[in-house]
A and B are shown apart, each in its own frame.
Chain A
Amino acid sequence: MSANHSKTKKKSSIGFVEGVRRSRPLYLLMLPSIIIFALFTYYPMYGIVIAFKNFTPADGIMGSSWAGLKYFKQYFNSYQFGLTIKNTIIISLYTIAVTFPLPVIMGLLVNQMKAQKFKKFFQVSTYLPHFISTVVMAGMLILFLSPSTGIIAKLVGLLGFKLPNLMGSAKAFPHIYVWSEAWQHVGWDSILYIATLSSVDPTLYEAATMDGANKWHKMIHIDVPALLPTATIMFIMRMGSVMSVGFEKVYLLQNTLNSTSSEIISTYVYKMGLVSSQYSLSAAIGLFNNIINLVLLLAVNFISSKMSDTSLI
């Protein structure tokens, strides 16, 4: 996109027909993806109108009567409105607070490991949990945290404590969600920072050694500044998705005992839509969430393009 100016001369000499003719093979290459996107991504965007209609499958999207903002009001006035938004924000911000800084720190640590075999083993081990599926992760948590038979209960028991039923505790839910997330992905997420650090000019370290800097000084004064631009972008991008917590793990870990802190917007959309078949209400909540996400992403994109050259678009 950046090289556009060099092409403008050529472009202006080519007309629409000629331009399209020349690009025909390229269009052919894009065709499958365009058809799929049109049918399953763009067509549903039109389907959003059901959020403003009293949709029933029998009447179809066109045939259903208009409802105006009825379903939005129904959501805003419901008990679930405040709850789902609060839970979504808490889980999301807590996740960012833990899983954003830890990979940066891990990247700094790995970069200091000079014993190559240890470093390699450390990296392979910490990447592994990333490949565990969400379902298996949830199953592991349920097994491990069982107050009667779980390994964590046994380990805690060795120290003389009794483990409460954490899976059935609304208070514990955000902690379980966030720290299992950290266990799974911090190692993997550190790859980016390790790679960034590996491209730091080695003469910087040599110069620092000459000036009498120890490893700690070098880490703080060379490595941290080297990571800052990448870390800033990653942070800004994470903040853009604050209102979109992934459905999969929350839904798996959810039960009636912890639902006051585990009901988030996406699980509620699923339950209203596909479990209770309230299509229009569910679509309205989904659209509301989508718009907040869009605003956040655009804001974040604006900030990031102001602060640096990097932006999503």
Chain B
Amino acid sequence: MSKAKAVSTNRVKKSREDWIFDIILYTIGVLLIIITLYPMYFIVIASFSDPAAVSNGQIMFLPKGVNFKGYKQLASYAKLWTGYRNTIAYVIMGTLVTLVVNIPASYALSRKHLYGRKFFTAFYLIPMFFTGGLIPTYLAVQRFHLLDTFWVMVVPFSVVTYYIIVGRTFFNNSIPEDLWEAAQLDGCGYLGFFFKIVLPLSKAVIAVIALWAAVGQWNSYFNALIYIRSESLQPLQIVLRSILVGNQTMSAMSTGAAAVEAKQMADLIKYAIIVVSSAPIMCMYPLVQKYFNQGVMLGSLKG
């Protein structure tokens, strides 16, 4: 068999099999997109449809009886907006603290001339393997008088070993050791060098860690559940929890048609509240997607 013939027969065979492959591939792809997007799409259309139609199952693909009752109810729901405001404050302050605390430490740890480097590396790594656990940590927070304060949400758990490892990897690979020696010749002090030269070169890793920290703060409820008691300090997620998860038994308060209507309205509010609380993160994500992808790659490298 000549070579040319072999190639041409292969090509004919290839295109038919690959065609089948592609059909299966894109069918699976479309199905996965539907499975992923439909639940989110449904929440959005349900949030401004007629509540009775939603609970009777008349709404599946298109909204019906468009109205904004759910959103109007939310507008006057003070607790939700307190939560919203608190979460924004926690996100801004928490992200700042996370950066201030982790970025310089990861830089220091990446320098080979750091005296006692092994000791400090161990210091930061040990908590990945062993921690005090819930109660001892709670007692520590209590002892330092941070229970039920604004600061418990932003300071005690701001040091994250994983962020430090990611930062260290970045600095290892992108800030050469002799950069400091060059800066020194120009009469730059070490801290001046760090703030004026190293940080501007490290925007990528700063962005990645800031995003992780911000999304983490926005979505977390654990610390607030454990350490916050006052209603005025509760973050958004705790308010959401009381509405979305907590009120399963509340509808039993009235009876008959009124109860049914109350339950339907409660559900409508839930759909609206999911939209209102998730929209900021969802809308932000595509804009900053590239930093997240970068982060996944940074995180997978070893320092």
A: residues with CB less than 8 A from B are 1, 3, 7, 14, 16, 19-20, 22-23, 25-30, 32-34, 36-37, 39-48, 50, 61, 106, 109, 112-113, 115, 118, 121-122, 124-129, 131-136, 138-140, 142-144, 148-149, 151, 153-155, 157, 183, 187, 191-192, 195, 209-210, 212, 214-216, 230, 247-248, 252, 255, 266, 269-270, 273-274, 279, 282-283, 286-287, 289-290, 293-294, 297-298, 310, 312-313
Contact = CB atoms under 8 A, between A and B. Distances in A.
- Of the listed residues A121, A143, A313, the one surrounded by the most CB atoms of chain B closer than 10 A to its CB is A143
A50 B33 contact: no
Contacts of A214: 13-14, 17-18, 21
Given A32-B101, A127-B285, A50 B136 contact: yes
Interface string B104-137: 1101110111111110110111011111111111
B278 A310 contact: no
Contacts of B221: 133-135, 248
Contacts of B256: none
A140 B43 contact: yes
A135 B302 CA distance: 33
Given A29-B194, A212-B13, A270 B159 contact: no
A191 B295 CA distance: 10
Contacts of B114: 23, 26
B183 interface: no
Contacts of A43: 132, 140
B185 to A, nearest CB: 17
24 contacts: A1-B117, A26-B111, A26-B114, A29-B108, A32-B105, A39-B140, A43-B132, A44-B136, A44-B137, A44-B139, A50-B136, A61-B139, A126-B36, A128-B285, A136-B278, A139-B244, A151-B46, A212-B6, A248-B221, A255-B248, A270-B134, A282-B135, A312-B128, A313-B125
Q: Which 6 residue pairs spanning A and B have beta carbons closest together?
A: A44-B132, A139-B244, A47-B136, A286-B133, A154-B57, A19-B115
Nearest to A281: B135
Contacts of A46: 132, 136
Nearest to A269: B134
Contact of B134 (A1, A127, A155, A282): A282
B274 to A, nearest CB: 5
Interface stretch (B22-30, B67-75, B201-209): B22-30
Residues of A contacting B: mostly: helix
A40 B157 contact: yes
Residues of B contacting A: mostly: helix
Interface of B: 6-7, 10, 13-14, 17-18, 21-22, 25-26, 28-29, 32-33, 35-37, 39-40, 42-43, 46, 54-57, 60, 100-102, 104-105, 107-109, 111-118, 120-121, 123-125, 127-141, 144, 155-159, 164, 189-191, 194, 215, 218-222, 226, 237, 240-241, 243-245, 248, 263-264, 267, 270-271, 274, 277-278, 281-282, 285-286, 289, 292-293, 296-297, 300, 302-303
A128 B282 contact: yes
A109 B28 contact: yes
Given A109-B25, A109-B29, A214-B18, A47 B139 contact: yes
A215 B111 contact: no
Nearest to B193: A25
B136 A283 contact: yes
A133 B236 CA distance: 11
Nearest to B117: A1
Nearest to A121: B33
Given A129-B40, A133-B218, A30 B17 contact: no
A33 B105 contact: yes
